[in-house]
Structures are given as C-alpha cells and as structure tokens.
Amino acid sequence: MDIRVLKSTAKKHKRLFIVLLFVAVIIFPWVSSGMTIRVGTNIMIYSILTMGAMLICGYTGMLNQGMAAFYGVGAYASALLAVNFDLPFIVCFLAAGLITALIGVIIAVPCLRVETDFLSLITIAFANIFTAILNNWTGLTRGPSGVPGIPPAKLFGFEFNTPIRNFYLMFGVVVLTYVILNNLIKSRIGRALQAVRDNEIGASSVGVNVNNSKVLAFAIGTFFAGLAGSLMAHFIGFVGPTNFTFDESLLVLQMCIIGGLGSMPGAIVGAAFFVIMPEVIRPLAVYRVGVGGVIMILCMLFRPQGIMGSRAYAGKGGFQEKIRSFLRKRQQAKQA
C-alpha cells in the first residue's frame, strides 16, 4: 500500500478518535455521579498544570521541582484578588497567570548559567521559601488558616457554581491550553526550545538564543501553572499552605514521566493516571505511596518513554534519565 494512503488513513483515524473523545467528555458529566465529576474536574486542573510543566521539563530540558509553588502563586493571587478586592473572575484568572509568569521569569534569569542539577536545587529552594511565606506572612496569606470564602468562577453573568458547570469550564480551558501549547511546540519557537533541550551548544551554533528560549519557556509554563492554580482556588473555594507542598511538585513530575516526556497529550494522560489511581486503590490507602513507587519503577523498566512518549526521549544519560533517576531515589526513600 502506498505510504501516502497509510498516512491519510492514520490521520482520518486520529481525527475520528479526537471527535469521539470530545463527544465522550461532553456526555461524561451527565452520566456520572457528583464524586466522579469532581474527579474529572481535578483531572482537568492537573492537566493544565502538567502541560505547563511539560513545556519546561519535557520540551526545554529544565528540571523544575517547584511547580507546586508556582501553582500556589496563581491560586493565592486569584484568591486574594477575589476576596480582598472583589474583582471579577476573569481579571483574577488572567492576573494569576501573569503574576506567576513574572515570578517565573525572576526565578529563571539567575538560573541561566547553572546546570540542570543546580536549577532543580534553586526551584526547591523557591518552593521552600514560598511555603514559609504562606505559613508566616499572616497579614497577606492568613497563615496556616488559609483563605476561605473564594467565590466560584463567573463569566459574562454566568456563574459556575455546580459540578457540571465547573467541569465544562475546566474542559474549555484544557482544550484552549492544549491548542496553544501544541501549536507553540510545532512553531519556530517550539523547535528552538527542543533544540536547547537536546544540545545547547548545537542550538546556539545555528542561531538560537539559548537564554531567551529558557526564560520564555519558564514564563509560558508558569503562566499556565498560575491559571491552573486560579481555577483550583475558585473551584474548591479555599486555599491553604498544605495544598502546595514539595510532594505536589514531585507528583507533577511523575505525571510528566508516566504520560511521556516530550508529549503534550502525555501530560493529560499522566494527570488522569495519577488523579484516578488513588481512587482505584482507595482500599489500599495505607500502601498508596508504595503502590505509586512500584508503578513508577515498572514504568521506568518496561516503558521508559512513558505511555504517550517517543523512544527518542527514553535514552539513558540524557535529561529525561536524570529526572527518572531522581524520582526513583525519592520513591525508594519513601518506601524505606
């Protein structure tokens, strides 16, 4: 069979799958219980967060271990603007993304000349500083008590105050995020980011501004982390320091790896996997950490590229292997 016919058939099948998946998601909340819809909504929020992390880690090759802190910046920014100043949701939502992106740039610029290992330490330090601020700057963050009374999202007079409405809001933002980031990574900018990930010297030799590319990736990735935080705050109605721990950052990295580094659809699959898994193994809640560790190790052994990743990203010795090695040691330490 002609190769062009095979490609055309594959494209048709892909489009059909996307249409069927879209229809299934639209129908999902109408045939599900309230708890199941809530799980689906959490998948949407984590998908946005993980896609932002995927741009930074999977496509640019920077190990950011403070993603939960950026997530928290967006959540607190949106919550405080809504509660203290009674600003409209859309203003809080966009401001959360922009404030988080600005902080991302401030963190990224000093990190330009350091290696990936040192960058990971700097982002860990930022995460710890952020947690300390949340707990101790009570005049702003209200300390360990958190910020209650966050109003639900409201757009053009339409209030998202039911589980189904929230689900569709999150789904809309997930689709928009995916379209934006997927087009970005296929553009000249995206190719530059991937060149930086694969070989900084080689990328520089063909005219790619390595420093600008890193800062841009950090800004865009953290912008979407801020948006995810804003959605979470208005969905739950409360934010507190315990929502943004270091373990949450590791969870996001695990979502990237299981889904497949270098795959934007993989970010969504990884998010779905780790949100659903605790519900599936709820009877084994005592062993949840151990089960998660075993799954990570099995994935690294038998599917190192992740569920949706390419084998091109599974080779040893590269950035992806560094992330896997770090998480493997972390899981083994937890089980010990």
194-221: per-residue pLDDT in tens? 999 888 889 999 889 999 999 999 999 9
* Residues 140-181 pLDDT 10s: 999 999 999 999 999 988 999 999 999 999 999 999 999 999
- pLDDT surpassing 70 at residue 123: yes
Q: Widest CA span of the chain, in angstroms?
A: 70
Name residue 158's beta-bridge partners. 155
Average pLDDT over all residues of the chain = 87
In the prediction, which pLDDT does 219 show? 97
In the prediction, which pLDDT does 7 show? 58
Enter the tokens of residue 179: 């379209």
Average pLDDT of span 322-335: 59
Residue 3 has a CB neighbour count (10 Å cut-off) of: 7
Enter the tokens of residue 17: 């799958």
More confident residue, 277 or 327: 277
| Threshold 0.85, pTM exceeds | yes
Enter the tokens of residue 264: 């934007």
Q: How confident is the model at residue 115 (pLDDT cuts 50, 70, 90)?
A: low
In the prediction, which pLDDT does 145 show? 93
Give the phi and the psi of residue 316 in degrees, each rounded to 5: -80, 155
C-alpha 209/C-alpha 3 separation (Å) is: 37
Helix and strand element counts for the chain (H, E)? 14, 2
In the prediction, which pLDDT does 110 show? 84
Helix residue ranges, H only, 199-287? 200-205, 210-236, 246-259, 264-280
C-alpha 62/C-alpha 214 separation (Å) is: 8
Q: Tokens 């605790």, residue?
A: 278
Average pLDDT of span 325-335: 59
Amino acid at 204: S
Amino acid at 294: V
Q: How confident is the model at residue 121 (pLDDT cuts 50, 70, 90)?
A: confident
265's CB contacts (< 8 A; 6+ apart) are 178, 259, 308
Of 20, 12, 45, give the one whose Cα is nearest residue 252.
45
Contact 141, 147 (CB under 8 A): yes
In the prediction, which pLDDT does 73 show? 98
Query: What percent of the chain stands above pLDDT 70?
Result: 84
Cα angle 58, 61, 67 (rounded to 5 degrees) comes to 70
Enter the tokens of residue 47: 């998908």
Cα angle 334, 56, 294 (rounded to 5 degrees) comes to 25
- pLDDT surpassing 60 at residue 314: no
- pLDDT surpassing 50 at residue 66: yes
Q: How confident is the model at residue 315 (pLDDT cuts 50, 70, 90)?
A: very low
CA atoms within 13 A on the CB side of 185: 21
- pLDDT surpassing 70 at residue 277: yes
Enter the tokens of residue 35: 């708890």
CA 147 to chain centre: 23
In the prediction, which pLDDT does 311 show? 58
Residue 258 has a CB neighbour count (10 Å cut-off) of: 26
Sign, CA dihedral 53-57-60-64, equals positive
